[in-house]
Structure 1
Amino acid sequence: MSLIDGIILLGLIALFLTIGIFGQTKTDSTADYFLAGRKLRWHQIGFSLFATNFSASALIGITGAAYAIGIAIYNYEWVGIIAMILFALVMVRVIRGSRVYTIAQYLGERFDDRVKTLYTIFVIFLLVFIDMAGSLYAGGLLLNQFIPGLSANAVIFLVMLMAGLYSVVGGMTAIARTDMYQSLVLLLGAVMIAWFSLSAVGGWEAFIETAPPESLSLIRGLDDRAVPWTGLLIGVPIICIYFWVVNQNMVQWVLSANTQADARRGLLMAGALKTLCLFLIVLPGIAAISFLPGLSEPDRVYPAMLLELLPSGILGLVLAGFVSGLMSNTDSTLHAASTMITMDFVRKRRPDVAPKTLILVGRLTTILIIGISALWAPNIGRFGTLFEYIQTLLSYSVAPFVVVYLGGMFWSRATAAGAVAALIAGFGSALAIAIMGDGLDLFSLHYLHVPLPVAVISVIIFIAVSLKTDAQPVEDRLSWSRRRGDTDSRTGMRLDRWLAGGLVVVTMGVLVLFW
């Protein structure tokens, strides 16, 4: 890395830290610190959702997966867009109207404290060992190649220090403020690497001609390593619903919105930006097959592309974009875990604690989470590729909570006993599949084929136990109803439906282009 690259990289990092730490931030109440006072506008939500999703682990993991597998990896992205549209048009008014701080709090009020506690433990585990650790691992994997003498562990420590600093000081408001600027640099860096990748293979027509035919196949056979067509039907939708609808790391931005219209439009804006992932991450990974043939470690593809393609000056900008994605995902994940621990555990046990004390607990919790994630991150390399590590864990773990969350929202007869039984049965069945399949080799089952049977077992137990137990009255604010009024004007909702329809058309058009 040249001197000019270093200056650009350090200059932009210093800018992000200055914006995050010294910008005007109000943290007098728990709503201010944990949910930005519930005053975020739609563009802030859209940029933050996009930056949190378009993370360092996505740049490393998806680029590597595209290199090894091809365009089929984009199936996760377009199904995710559909999940975001459904969330925006159908479920936002329930979760926003419940006036909760976390999904765990919603589940506790809809069911009971057992479900709330199980969700909190489960999601904190995923945030620490997937979101946080995955991003830190990706950062260490790339940056130690460009900063001589700096180990991957040292990079992990520096990133967690930088992102944790303004997260601890300014809370959600500081995170939202920095995410806007980080998103712009991230997009600019991604555009640069995409441009140089396609230029390296001779342009668009040369790319289509030289790419292996199977790499441009969106729908794959049953024996596909990454996304068999059956997995696309029965596995990917459940994972995407969890990620965008049930995951505190994403839903916290919806809860922080100024109005329901801001929440809906922020989701739709993030979905529109998400369509760019095909051109900015997936296709460059496929293009790399031509000028970086024979790489045995897919997670090394993105760093190799930067070394091979980018001239001095541009490299510093792209690295700054990578660090932007790394910091943005890290700060949001830290804040989500901190919010759940503070508001779902500490406040529950000590309801008389002053808001400033809760904020202090949130800050100390953030520091603890950073440390645990940093210790685990170097171990991810033992589990194959980063993308497969993340998707395998999600495939085995998220279906029971998707069932309980959606069941509680859309079925008023659902009971707490049914929810607890569904979670136990779901996780028990997932563990049994893992032991018999991966442990004892009694059968071979692709990880994307796991979510559906686990979900079916959870649904059966959920319904059966709920019908056998007495149902408690459910407050209107905690369940979905077609008759329930929306606080926004009909004109605003009509506009959002048009925006959602346009997003569907654009997404389908992109898919048809590569069908």
Structure 2
Amino acid sequence: MNILEVILFIGAVVGVIAIGIWKSRDEDTSGEQGASDYFLAGRGLTWWLVGFSLIAANISTEQFVGMSGSSANWLGMAIASYEWMAAVTLVFVAFWFLPKFLKAGLYTIPEFLQYRFDGVARLSMAIPAIVTLVFVTTSSVIFSGAKFVSEYYNTVPVLNSLTAMCWLIAIFAAVYVFVGGLKACAWTDLVWGSALIVGGAIVMYMAFSVLSEKPAEELILTKVANSTATVADLETASAWERFMLLNDGVEGEAVALEGPNGTGGKVHMVRPKTDSDIPWTALLIGLWIPNFFYWGLNQYIVQRTLGSKSLAEGQKGIVFAAALKLLIPFLVVIPGILAYNLFSGDLLNAATGEYDYDRAFPVLVRNLIKPYPMISWFVLAALCGAVISSLASMLNSASTIATMDLYAKFSGEKNPAKLVKIGRGFVVIFVLLAALVAPALDNFTSIFAYIQEFQGFISPGILAVFIFGFFSPRTPRYFGAVGIGLNVISYGAFKWLIGPWIVTNGWWYAEQIAFLDRMAICFFIVLLAGVILTLVKPMEKPVEMPVNDVIVLESSKGAQICGALVVVATIALYAIFW
């Protein structure tokens, strides 16, 4: 281990965290605005802080490990739909969701359900949200961060221990969010978001450089089964042409079904309807559900937009983040595919003899970056910072929900200083629970699939309820809790009972119902229930939502133009990689 690399790495991480805490020094967490200052950064975030914070909170080793692993496996570019469709989703969130949330002056997303529906609906969202944040997203980020570090330093005692690294990362992140609050998160996110993009670009550039120089005889062994590439083709091709030749299947066979050497190509977005992960049918409806839920209703993402200085600043920040999302597949997904093309042998698990695809990005970094300490410290610091910032954001949001939606609601506590102390207490509790769960995630084949499957029980019902909350003022109040509960039951039924029965009887076009298709089915079930309840017994008077007259609610015309350009660019990317 190079001592210079270690010194620069530690200095960068500690220095950025110090900047975040220093920038939050003027926040008065003990005064009348203490809760607002700690949980929402005093509602003073500018567009560039919002934009980079959204990206840094979202992109972590969860993507660099999980998403790269999925792309190294048979999914390839198809997994990029989570990023490119998110860009379009963010544009809608900026002009559809955010105005309603800022107008109501919300601290948390479940708080909206209290005003529009009732307290039961609020709890029906708040409790699963805490469970998801702590046991799914926070624990998975701790795990994927520890997985990356332990794989990179696979010969260094302690650092090569997955369990030890889970605890070290968890404790470090907890101390950071405990002190700084959301404003510290936002300022460190500004640095880490920029560093992530630059660091990812460095890894991708070096991977393509090695690809261009590697002997064609070695590369040909990693091509997909239906690729027509020959050694002669590869010898005369550029790096990008080599990438396409190795991973592009025969025309009409742009799919891969049985692992890295499956029946088609990895550089196509569209996969067959029989695919178990991302069938093309999911692009129509199913994939939009987790996207809208994650970017529009997920507390740890939306919380930084709730802290915007104005509606216009929030919209500009969200659209800026949408533009950055278009870059992410080039920094995460394509390097994952390259990891298999270049270092497939390193992905084999010696103990089991099977591929461990979650090793893809760590293996790429270890082989390409580790020999260059003047570069490696920066890439490592960016990735470590991404873990810390994501964890800080998740812990801050989980504690916000627990404090405002549970503790304050049931205790009636309104003292801001007391609420901040309670929030910090929840941070400690939640990080301990997440750190206990994190090492166990090593038993899952794909950490990314684990996260998405769990969301199926939550996101379709909540999204459907919010749609009625936004656009149907006479839908009965009890529909909030009914809709969320109905989705949990429906998703479980289609996963374990009804779904297998339909498949067994030959009434489905695949061997199983993909989880994204299950999401779509449950989403429409809840929507249908809402329509029926509204028609049968509508409310006599429409619900009146609270109005926050402190925040300027004028929309941004510049953001509208840029948002339209983002949508056009997304369509163009799909056309290129179709």
TM range (shorter): over 0.9
Structure 2 matches for 1:9-88, cutoff 5 A?
A: 9-23=9-23, 24-26=25-27, 27=29, 28=31, 29-68=34-73, 69-88=75-94
The one-letter amino acid of 2:539's match is: A
The 5-angstrom pairing of residues 141-220 of structure 1 reads 141-147=147-153, 148-150=156-158, 151-202=161-212, 203-213=239-249, 214-220=265-271
Q: How does 1:384-399 map to 2 (within 5 A)?
A: 384-399=445-460
Deviation at 1:220, TM superposition (A): 0.9
User: After superposition, where does 1:417-456 map in structure 2 within 5 Å?
Assistant: 417-436=478-497, 443=504, 444-456=512-524
2:332 is paired with a residue whose SS is: helix
Shift of 1:425: 1.8
> What does the per-residue CA deviation read over 1:10-60, in whole Å, with 9 as the maximum and x for residues that have no partner?
111111221233332412311111101101001000000000111110110
User: What is the aligned counterpart of 1:92 among 91, 98, 113?
Assistant: 98
Return the letter of the residue paired with 1:81.
Answer: A
Q: Per-residue deviation at 1:76?
A: 1.3
| Contact 2:103/2:553 (8 A) holds in 1 | no
Mapping 1:367-382, distance limit 5 Å: 367-382=428-443
Name the TM-score, length of structure 1 as normaliser. 0.94
C-alpha contact (below 8 Å) 2:115/2:545 kept by paired residues: no
Paired letter, 2:266: S
Residue in structure 2 matched with residue 228 of structure 1 by the alignment: 279
**1:493 and 2:503 correspond:** no
1:330 equivalent among 391, 394, 414: 391
Q: How many angstroms does 1:403 deviate by?
A: 0.4
Distance change (3 Å), C-alpha of 1:166 and 1:198: same
Q: Residues 433, 166 of structure 1: CA spacing in aligned structure 2 closer, same or farther, 3 A cutoff?
A: same
> How many Å apart are 1:437 and its aligned residue?
6.3
CA contact (8 A) 1:396 1:450 kept: no
The answer (yes or no) to whether the contact 1:94–1:478 under 8 Å persists in 2 is no
- CA deviations over 1:239-268 (Å, ceiling 9, x no partner): 101101111111111110000001101110
Contact 1:211–1:287 (CA under 8 A) maintained in structure 2: no
Distance 1:355 1:48 in 2: 25
Aligned identity (percent) is: 28
8 Å CA contact 1:418–1:463 kept in 2: the answer is no
- Out of 357, 361, 365, the residue aligned to residue 298 of structure 1 is 357
CA RMSD for the aligned pairs? 2.0
**After TM superposition, which residue ranges in structure 1, 4 or more long, deviate above 3 angstroms?**
437-443, 466-470, 472-479, 486-489
- Contact 1:422 1:462 (C-alpha < 8 Å) held by counterparts: yes
Aligned equivalents of 1:18 and 1:429: distance in 2?
47
Does the 8 Å CA contact 1:341/1:365 hold for their aligned counterparts? yes
Please name the residue that 1:238 is paired with. Answer: 289
> What is the one-letter code of the residue matched to 1:134?
S
Match of residue 254 from structure 2: none
The answer as to whether partners of 2:475 and 2:538 remain within 8 angstroms in 1 is no
Give deviations 1:87-131, integer Å, cap 9, x for gaps. 112221111100010011111111110000110001111111221
Cα 1:302–1:441 change in 2 (3 A) is farther
Q: Which of 106, 111, 132 does residue 105 from structure 1 map onto?
A: 111
- Structure 1: 5+ residue runs without aligned partners? 480-485
Q: Normalising by structure 2, what TM-score? A: 0.84
**8 Å contact 1:160–1:374 — kept in the other structure?**
yes
Aligned match for 1:120, one of 121, 126, 142: 126
Higher Cα Rg, which structure: 2
Unaligned runs of 5+ in 2: 213-238, 250-264, 348-354, 505-511
How far apart in 2 are the matches of 1:473 and 1:334? 39
Q: Secondary structure at the match of 2:344?
A: coil
- Residues 331 and 459 of structure 1, relative CA distance in 2, 3 Å threshold: same
Looking at structure 2, the residues matched to 416 and 426 of structure 1 have their Cα atoms a distance apart, in angstroms, of: 17
Aligned residue pairs total 507
State the AA in 2 paired with 1:271. Answer: A
- SS of the residue 2:478 aligns to: helix
SS of the residue 1:102 aligns to = coil
d(CA) in 2 for partners of 1:191, 1:4: 23
1:31–1:65 Cα change, 3 Å: same
Q: Aligned to 1:137, what secondary structure does the other structure show? A: helix
Q: Which residue in the other structure is 1:256 paired with?
A: 307
Q: Does the CA contact (< 8 Å) of 1:419 and 1:462 recur in 2?
A: no
Letter in 1 for 2:404: M
Partner SS, residue 524 of structure 2:
helix
Question: Aligned pair in 2 of structure 1 residues 506, 113: CA closer, same or farther (>3 Å)?
Answer: same
> Equivalents in 1 of 2:131, 2:526: separation in Å?
21
CA distance, structure 2, for counterparts of residue 164 and residue 465 of structure 1? 44
- Of 135-144 and 179-188, more deviation after overlay is shown by 179-188
